[in-house]
Amino acid sequence: MKVLVVGGAGYIGSHMVKMLLADGHQVITFDDLSGGFRDAVLGGEFVEGDLADKLALDNVFALHQPDAVMHFASFIQVGESVQLPDKYYRNNFSNTVNLLDTMTAHRVKRFIFSSTAAIFGEPEYVPIDELHPTRPLNPYGRSKWMVEQMLADYGLAFGLRYVCLRYFNAAGADPAGLLGERHEPETHLIPLVLQAASGRRPHIAVFGRDYDTPDGTCIRDYIHIVDLCSAHLLALNMLNDGGQSNCFNLGNGEGFSVQQVIDATQRITGKSIRVVDAERRAGDPARLVADASRARRVLGWVPRHAELDAIIEDAWRWERTTAGHSNM
Ligand code: UFG
C-alpha cells in the first residue's frame, strides 16, 4: 500500500515509517519539522509541509494518491495545553479537519489516528478498557477526544473507515539503535531518567510521593514503541481487508511506578542516579493502566517487547548514542 505518514519525522512516526518500509509499503512522510527531524525519516518520500496549508496538502494527495493515512502530527504536552489551548485546538483539532477534508476530497478512506489515554481523564477503574467514560482533563486530551468524535461523524457521512489507537505511555527505541526519542523539550519520565544516568542532567525529579499507590509514586503502563507501531500495521491491514472502524487502548496491562522505573534504570545502566523529590505535577492521575484485550482479540496484537527492562535497555542504547552528539 501507499501510506501517507503525517508527522513521520517525530518519535512515533519515524519508527512507523521504518516499520512500514520493512513491511514492503510505499511511504510518503508529510511533516513540518516543528518537532521532528528530517534525518529520522529513514526512507520513502519526504514532503516538508504544514497541515494548516491546505494547498500543500492537496498537492501531496494529488501527486502521491495514498491508499491510507496515518496521523501522528500533534502537540503532546499536557501542561502547555493548559497555558496555550489555542495552539492545541488549532493544530491537534483544526489541522486534523484540514487533513480529513483533503482525504474526503481525494476519496482516501482509510485513516489511523494517534489518540491517547488522556481522553479518559481521572480513571474510574483500572485497567482502562474502551468502555471507560471519556472525560479528558485538559485541552490536550480534549483535542484528541474531539477528533475521535469527529471521526465517527465523518465515518457516517463520508464512508471514512478509521482506527483510533489510544496510547498509554509510549517508550523505548528502535532495537537496531537507529531511532529513538528526541523531544525538545523532553518531559517524559524514561528519557529523563536515562539522561540523568548518562550525565546529561544532574538529577531526576520525582513528581509526588504521596499518591495512593504502594510506593506513593504514580503508576503508568509503558509500551514499547515497536509494539505500538506493530498495532498500527495490524490496524492498517484490518482496514485494508474491509474491517470496520474501531478504537483500541494500547498498553501492556501492567503498571510500573516512577520509583520502579528509576530502580530498574539504575540496575540496567549500572549508574547511580540522583533523585530529587518534587511537588506533584498538576493533572497526573495516580494510576493509568490499559486493558488492551480488544486489540489482542480484534487485531491479533501481541506485544513482543512487553518487559520494562527491554524498553529501558533499548532507550538506554539510544541515549548513549544521543549523549555523544551535542546537536541531537
Ligand atoms: N514524572 C516524574 N518526573 C519527571 C517526569 C515525569 O516524576 O521528570 C512522572 C510523572 O509525574 C508521571 C510519570 O512520571 O507520573 C510519567 O510521566 P510522563 O510525562 O512520562 O508521561 P504521562 O503519563 O504524563 O503522559 C503520557 C504521554 C501523554 C499522554 C499521557 C496519557 O506523554 O502524551 O501519557 O495519559 F497524554
pLDDT tens, position by position, 213-229: 999 999 999 999 999 99
CA–CA separation, 178 vs 163, rounded Å? Answer: 28
Domain residue limits at 154? 2-170+224-250
Same domain, 241 and 96: yes
Q: 226-258: buried (b, 16+ CB within 10 Å) or exposed (e) per residue?
A: bbbbbbbbbbbebbeeebebbbbbbbbbebbbb
Domain-located, residue 175? no
pLDDT band of residue 326 (cuts 50, 70, 90) is very low
Q: CATH number for the domain including 321?
A: 3.90.25.10
160 near 103, Cβ under 8 Å?
yes
pLDDT band of residue 323 (cuts 50, 70, 90) is confident
| Residue 58 sits in the same domain as residue 31 | yes
Residues 199 and 237 in one domain: no
One domain, residues 76 and 142: yes
Which residue has a Cα nearest atom 36 of ligand 1? 118
Q: Please give the DSSP secondary-structure letter assigned to residue 36.
A: S
Mean of the per-residue pLDDT values of the chain: 96
Cβ–ligand 1 distance for 220 under 6 Å, the answer yes
Q: Could you give the number of structural domains in the chain?
A: 2
89 touches ligand 1 (CB under 6 Å): no
Band of residue 324 on the pLDDT scale cut at 50, 70, 90: low
Does one domain contain both 230 and 315? no
- Whichever domain contains 73, its CATH number is 3.40.50.720
Decide whether any atom of ligand 1 lies within 6 Å of the 83 Cβ: no
pLDDT digits (tens, 9 = 90+) for 63-85: 999 999 999 999 999 999 999 99
DSSP state of 128: B
Does residue 32 sit in the same domain as residue 18? yes
Q: Quote the ligand 1 centre to 16 CA distance (angstroms).
A: 22
Question: Is 318 found in the same domain as 229?
Answer: no
Residues 245-271 have pLDDT tens digits of 999 999 999 999 999 999 999 999 999
Cis peptide leading into residue 127 (ω within 30°): yes
Query: Do the domain assignments include residue 176?
Result: no
- For atom 11 of ligand 1, the residue with the nearest CA is 207
- The residue nearest atom 33 of ligand 1, judged by CA position, is 76
Name the percent of the chain lying above pLDDT 70: 98
Is 181 part of a structural domain of the chain? Answer: no
Q: Please report which confidence band the pLDDT of residue 325 belongs to, taking 50, 70 and 90 as the band edges.
A: low
Q: How much is the average pLDDT of 142-159?
A: 98
The residue whose CA is least distant from atom 10 of ligand 1 is: 207
Residues 271, 203 within the same domain? yes
Give the pLDDT mean for 122-142.
97
For a ligand 1 pocket test, name from 138, 194, 207 the mutation site with the most ligand atoms within 8 angstroms of its C-beta: 207
pLDDT tens for residues 39-52? 999 999 999 999 99
pLDDT band at 322; cut points 50, 70, 90: confident
Q: Mean pLDDT, to the nearest integer, of 154-159?
A: 98
pLDDT over 90 at 190, yes or no:
yes
Mutate to test the pocket of ligand 1, among 120, 164, 258 (most ligand atoms within 8 A of CB): 258
Identify the pLDDT of residue 282. Answer: 86
Q: Are residues 228 and 213 in the same domain?
A: no
Residue from 140, 154, 162, 167 carrying the catalytic annotation: 140
CA of 77 to the centre of ligand 1 (A): 9
- As a residue count, the chain comes to 328
For residue 281 and ligand 1, the question of a CB distance below 6 A is answered with yes
Ligand 1 atom at minimum distance from 206 CA:
7
Q: What are phi and psi of 135, to 5 degrees?
A: -135, 75
How far apart CA 12 and CA 321 sit, in angstroms, is: 18
All three cell numbers of 309? 527492562
On whether residue 183 sits in a domain, the answer given is no
206, part of any domain: yes
Residue type, 226: V
Do 273 and 143 belong together in one domain? no
User: 128 and 136 in contact (C-beta within 8 Å)?
Assistant: no
Mark which of 211, 233, 250 sits at the end of a domain: 250
211 has catalytic annotation: no
DSSP string, 227-269: HHHHHHHHHHHHHHTTPPPEEEEES-S--EEHHHHHHHHHHHH
pTM for the model stands at 0.97
